[in-house]
C-alpha cells in the first residue's frame, strides 16, 4: 500500500511538472512571435549594418548581394518551407490561447480564392497561426489548397525578416504579388487578406465586434479580375487578447495614428497584455483567450477583366451579407449572446 501511494504521488508530481513545462514553452513560443512582430525587422537591419563594420563584413556583403538578386521573390509567391510551417513551437503557440480553425465548406482545388479575414485585432494572431503554420491543420482541413497570408510590403524590405516571413507562406499585400499568385501560380491558391487593415486595428478592443469593410472594395475588384472566389472568414476572440487605449475621432492621438497609417502603412497603437511572469501584471504577452477562426462558404465570382463599379458594388454587398450571416450563425457557439450584432463600418 505504501509503495502504491508513493508511485501515485510521483505520477502526480510528474504530470504537474510536465504541465508547468508545457505552459512555459507556450509562453516562450508566443513571446518570440510578439518580439518578431515588433522588433525583428529593425533589429536584423541594425545587426547587418554592425557586421559590415567588423572583420566579418564579407558575410554581410554576400547576404546583401544575394538580397539584390532575390529582391522580387516575395512578389512571385515567396519561398515557403513546410519544415518551418510544421515547427513544434507553433503547436505551443496554438495551445497558449488556444487557437482553433473551423471548416464549414469544402474548397475546390480547381479554383483560386481570396479569403477576407476579420477582424484585424492588434497583431492578427489567429490569421498567422491558422494560415502561416500547420498548427491547426489547415492543409488537412483544406487538402490541395495553398494559403498565402498577405501582410505589409514594407516587411519584405527588412533583411532576414523577409526570409522568415516567406518561409511561412506570407506574401506582400500588393497588386504584383496577388496578380502573380492568382494568375501565374496555377489553381488551388488562397490569399488571406486582412481587409480592415491598420484602420480596423485602431478600434479593436475586448467585447467589441466591428469590422472596417463598407469602403474596402479593392479585394472584390481583384477577385473579379482573376475570377477568384471570395471566402468570408471571422475570427471570434481576436479582439479579446489585448487591451488598447482608444482615441476618439478628432483627438490628437487619433490624428497621429492616422498620419502614420497614411504615410507608413501601419498605425501605432497603445496596447497591453499580461506580464511575462504574472498574469495580473501588464506586459506584451497577449491574454490567453480562445480564438476560433471560422472559414465560411465560398462565393462564386465570375472573371471580368474590367469590372465596372456596379459589378464591384454588387459582389461586395453579397460578401458583406455572407460575413454577417457567418457571424450570426456561429456567435452563440463561441461565447457571444444571441443579441450581439456585427458592426460594419
- Predicted confidence (pLDDT) at residue 13 exceeds the cutoff of 70: no
For residue 284, give the 3-state DSSP assignment: coil
Give me 85's grid cell: 510551417
Is the preceding peptide bond at 107 cis, omega within 30 degrees of 0? Answer: no
What is the Cα–Cα distance from 117 to 124, expressed in whole angstroms?
9
pLDDT on residue 126: 96
**Summary mean pLDDT of the chain:** 91
> Which residue in 193, 188, 185, 81 sits closest to 133, CA to CA?
81
Can you state the percent helix, strand and coil of the chain, rounding each to 5? 50, 15, 35
Quick: pLDDT tens for 176-199: 999 999 998 899 999 999 999 888
pLDDT on residue 1: 56
Where are the chain's structural domains? 2-344
pLDDT on residue 108: 96
For residue 270, give the 3-state DSSP assignment: coil
Q: What Å distances lie between residue 186 and 32, 179, 189, 200, CA to CA?
A: 34, 12, 8, 32
Is the preceding peptide bond at 249 cis, omega within 30 degrees of 0? Answer: no
pLDDT on residue 251: 83
Residues 6+ away with beta carbon under 8 Å from 341: 209
Give the residue-averaged pLDDT of 68-92. Answer: 95
Quick: pLDDT tens for 160-180: 999 999 999 999 999 999 999
pTM summary value: 0.91
Which range has the worst mean pLDDT, 6-10, 116-120, 249-253, 301-305? 6-10
Quick: pLDDT tens for 295-334: 999 999 999 999 999 999 999 999 999 999 999 999 999 9
Quick: pLDDT tens for 129-151: 999 999 999 999 999 999 999 99
Q: What's the length of the chain?
A: 345
Which one-letter DSSP state was computed for residue 38?
Answer: I
Give the residue-averaged pLDDT of 1-20. Answer: 61
- Predicted confidence (pLDDT) at residue 3 exceeds the cutoff of 80: no
C-alpha 257: how far from chain center: 21
pLDDT on residue 8: 60
The 8 Å CB, 24+ separation contacts for 157-161 are: 158/40, 158/41, 158/42, 158/44, 158/45, 159/44, 159/45, 159/48, 159/63, 159/64, 159/67, 160/40, 160/44, 160/48, 161/36, 161/40, 161/41, 161/44
Q: Which helix (H) or strand (E) holds 18?
A: helix 2-35
Give me 206's grid cell: 475586448
Q: Which residues pair with 115 in a beta bridge?
A: 192, 231
CB-CB neighbours of 50 under 10 Å: 12
Amino acid at each position: 500500500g505504501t509503495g502504491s501511494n508513493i508511485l501515485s504521488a510521483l505520477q502526480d508530481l510528474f504530470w504537474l511538472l510536465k504541465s508547468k513545462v508545457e505552459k512555459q514553452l507556450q509562453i516562450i513560443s508566443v513571446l518570440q512571435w510578439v518580439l518578431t512582430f515588433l522588433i525583428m525587422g529593425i533589429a536584423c537591419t541594425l545587426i547587418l549594418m554592425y557586421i559590415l563594420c567588423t572583420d566579418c563584413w564579407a558575410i554581410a556583403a554576400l547576404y546583401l548581394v544575394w538580397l539584390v538578386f532575390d529582391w522580387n521573390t516575395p512578389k512571385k509567391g515567396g519561398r515557403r518551407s513546410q519544415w518551418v510551417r510544421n515547427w513544434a513551437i507553433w503547436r505551443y503557440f496554438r495551445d497558449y490561447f488556444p487557437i482553433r480553425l473551423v471548416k464549414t465548406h469544402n474548397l475546390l482545388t480547381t479554383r483560386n480564392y481570396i479569403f477576407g479575414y476579420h477582424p484585424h485585432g492588434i497583431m492578427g494572431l489567429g490569421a498567422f497561426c491558422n494560415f502561416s503554420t500547420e498548427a491547426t491543420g489547415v492543409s488537412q482541413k483544406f487538402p490541395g489548397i495553398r494559403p498565402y497570408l498577405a501582410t505589409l510590403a514594407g516587411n519584405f524590405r527588412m533583411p532576414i525578416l523577409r526570409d522568415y516571413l516567406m518561409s511561412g507562406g506570407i506574401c506582400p499585400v500588393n497588386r504584383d504579388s496577388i496578380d502573380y499568385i492568382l494568375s501565374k501560380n496555377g489553381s488551388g491558391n488562397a490569399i488571406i487578406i486582412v481587409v480592415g487593415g491598420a484602420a480596423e486595428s485602431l478600434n479593436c478592443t475586448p467585447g467589441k465586434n466591428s469590422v472596417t469593410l463598407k469602403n474596402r472594395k479593392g479585394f472584390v475588384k481583384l477577385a473579379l479580375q482573376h475570377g477568384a472566389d471570395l471566402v468570408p472568414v471571422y475570427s471570434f476572440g481576436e479582439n479579446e487578447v489585448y487591451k488598447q487605449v482608444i482615441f476618439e475621432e478628432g483627438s490628437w492621438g487619433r490624428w497621429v495614428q492616422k498620419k502614420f497609417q497614411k504615410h507608413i502603412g501601419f498605425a501605432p497603437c497603445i496596447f497591453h497584455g499580461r506580464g511575462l511572469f504574472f498574469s495580473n501584471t501588464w506586459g506584451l504577452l497577449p491574454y490567453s483567450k480562445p480564438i476560433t477562426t471560422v472559414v465560411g462558404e465560398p462565393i462564386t465570382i465570375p472573371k471580368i477583366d474590367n469590372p465596372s463599379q456596379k459589378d464591384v458594388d454588387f459582389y461586395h454587398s453579397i460578401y458583406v451579407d455572407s460575413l454577417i450571416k457567418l457571424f450570426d450563425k456561429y456567435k452563440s457557439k463561441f461565447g457571444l449572446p444571441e443579441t450581439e450584432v456585427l458592426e460594419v463600418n
